[in-house]
């Protein structure tokens, strides 16, 4: 049931995000989208040259665990980061959201989005470039760490975790992009949720059809 709900949300928000990205070339080259795209693309050679910026990733990963624990009323007891030994965060309150937060919450992108919203317009192109790069950083390092195999995913169940992470990434990145380029954020949320009644109706029709074929007394 949870997998179906998360998979439906992922499909809805992936479609809603694609609608945001599917803008004419003239739009992409005339506003903040240009600098987001430049930063996004330029991150990839940096990713290769500096070997994935592992220390920066580990720091953000563990700090995200800690911040989300604090959001749920926990206290951070220890935060350790090392290039050679990895890192860990010790906190007093956790749940599956705290466990999976680093895989769907792009900490650095949120930081640069906040800067985008508060800095003077003259500085925004630089911030927007860093925002685009931080989005690419989040995507690349999330894929990399999941491929390595993470105990965080096993704790909540692999299928549950992956479907939830996928949905939350499309949702989160869509919200960040909407806010950065001045699109309708509530509209994006509504677009993503619009898949649920469609899928539910399809599920009901399929269930009724299966019941009818199995027992042969329901009139379709």
Q: Is residue 108 one of the residues assigned to a domain?
A: yes
Strand partners, 89: 79
Q: Is residue 220 one of the residues assigned to a domain?
A: no
3-class DSSP assignment, residue 130: helix
Nearest one of 178, 180, 169, 177 to 138, comparing CA atoms: 169
How far is the C-alpha of 91 from the C-alpha of 96, rounded, in Å? 14
Q: Is residue 7 one of the residues assigned to a domain?
A: yes
How far is the C-alpha of 39 from the C-alpha of 130, rounded, in Å? 6
Query: What is the domain extent for residue 52?
Result: 2-215
What total number of domains does the chain contain? 1
How far is the C-alpha of 196 from the C-alpha of 182, rounded, in Å? 26
Q: Is residue 50 one of the residues assigned to a domain?
A: yes
One pLDDT digit (tens) per residue for the chain, 220 residues: 677 788 888 989 999 999 999 988 888 887 789 999 999 999 999 988 887 788 888 899 999 999 999 999 999 888 888 877 778 888 988 899 999 999 999 999 999 999 999 999 999 999 999 999 999 999 999 998 888 877 888 887 888 899 999 999 999 999 999 999 999 999 999 988 887 776 666 656 666 665 566 665 444 4
Give the CA diameter of the chain.
Answer: 70
Does the pTM surpass 0.75? The reply is: yes
């Amino acid at each position: 049931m949870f997998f179906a709900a998360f998979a439906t949300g992922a499909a809805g928000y992936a479609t809603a995000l694609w609608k945001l990205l599917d803008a004419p070339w003239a739009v992409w080259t005339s506003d903040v989208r240009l600098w987001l795209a430049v930063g996004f693309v330029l991150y990839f050679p940096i990713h290769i040259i500096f070997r994935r910026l592992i220390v920066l990733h580990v720091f953000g990963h563990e700090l995200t665990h800690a911040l989300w624990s604090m959001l749920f009323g926990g206290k951070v007891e220890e935060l350790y980061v090392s290039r050679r030994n990895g890192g860990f965060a010790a906190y007093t309150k956790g749940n599956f959201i705290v466990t999976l937060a680093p895989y769907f919450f792009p900490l650095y992108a949120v930081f640069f989005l906040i800067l985008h919203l508060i800095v003077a317009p003259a500085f925004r192109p630089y911030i927007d470039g860093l925002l685009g790069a931080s989005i690419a950083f989040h995507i690349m390092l999330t894929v990399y760490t999941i491929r390595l195999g993470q105990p965080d995913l096993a704790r909540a169940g692999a299928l549950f975790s992956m479907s939830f992470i996928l949905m939350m990434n499309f949702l989160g990145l869509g919200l960040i992009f909407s806010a950065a380029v001045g699109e309708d954020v509530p509209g994006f949320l509504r677009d993503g949720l619009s898949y649920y009644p469609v899928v539910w109706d399809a599920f009901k029709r399929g269930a009724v059809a299966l019941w009818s074929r199995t027992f042969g007394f329901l009139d379709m």
